[in-house]
């Protein structure tokens, strides 16, 4: 049983065990059975019973992140960080004394939080890149 606030996910080897748990919960609490699990905490779940396959993805969550942070025009990449990329903080000296536009710290941190949740849920491949850019949470460029 997985519980988050007032949402429950029940998993068991046998359907009769799930039915037993639901009946026991229904005796003690008012519950609503929403049927087979499709989404939970931003994770989208699809199941192919005949192949015994369970797939997790976060396509809708990622699209919300893109919209919230005005990244809809971003282009897909085969690598999560281009080789040779150099990152810097606005506290670092600007090259050649040029004026550097800084990012809004709260917006930057919000984007990093969202990417960390995505990384933990279904995208471990972005862990290095997210960890690297999160080092600049205090002073993003």
* Region 106-130 average pLDDT: 91
Examine the domain organization and report whether 51 and 40 are in the same domain.
Answer: yes
pLDDT tens column, 42-100: 899 999 989 989 999 999 999 999 999 888 888 878 888 888 888 776 665 555 656 55
**So what's the pLDDT on residue 93?**
57
Q: Is residue 108 part of a domain?
A: yes
Boundaries of domain holding 17: 2-57
Q: Are residues 38 and 70 in the same domain?
A: no
* Residues 83 and 117 placed together within one structural domain of the fold: yes
In angstroms, the CA 20 to CA 84 distance is 57
Q: Does 122 fall in a domain?
A: yes
Residue 141: inside a domain, yes or no? Answer: no
Residues 16 and 71 placed together within one structural domain of the fold: no
Residues 66 and 127 in one domain: yes
Q: Which of 32, 57, 82 is the last residue of a domain?
A: 57
Please determine, for residue 22, whether its predicted confidence score (pLDDT) is greater than 90: yes
Same domain, 20 and 67: no
Domain end marker among 25, 40, 57 = 57
Closest CA to 133 of 62, 85, 84: 85
Domain count, the chain: 2
- Give the per-residue pLDDT at 86: 81
Residue 69 in domain: yes
**Alpha helices in the chain, H assignment, sequence order:** 15-28, 59-68, 105-121, 127-134
Confidence (pLDDT) at 16: 95
In this structure, the answer to whether residues 39 and 106 fall within a common structural domain is no
Instruction: Give the pLDDT band of residue 136 (cuts 50, 70, 90).
Output: confident
């Amino acid at each position: 049983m997985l519980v988050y606030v007032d949402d429950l996910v029940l998993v068991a080897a046998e359907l009769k065990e799930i039915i037993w748990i639901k009946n026991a919960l229904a005796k003690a609490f008012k519950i609503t059975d929403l049927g087979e699990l499709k989404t939970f905490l931003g994770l989208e779940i699809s199941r192919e019973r005949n192949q015994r396959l369970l797939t997790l993805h976060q396509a809708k969550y990622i699209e919300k992140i893109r919209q919230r942070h005005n990244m809809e025009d971003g282009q897909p990449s085969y690598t999560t960080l281009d080789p040779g990329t150099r990152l810097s903080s606005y506290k670092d000296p600007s090259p050649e004394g040029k004026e550097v536009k800084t990012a809004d710290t709260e917006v930057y941190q919000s984007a990093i939080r969202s990417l960390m949740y995505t990384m933990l849920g279904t995208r471990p491949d972005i862990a290095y890149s997210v960890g690297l850019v999160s080092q600049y949470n205090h002073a993003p460029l």
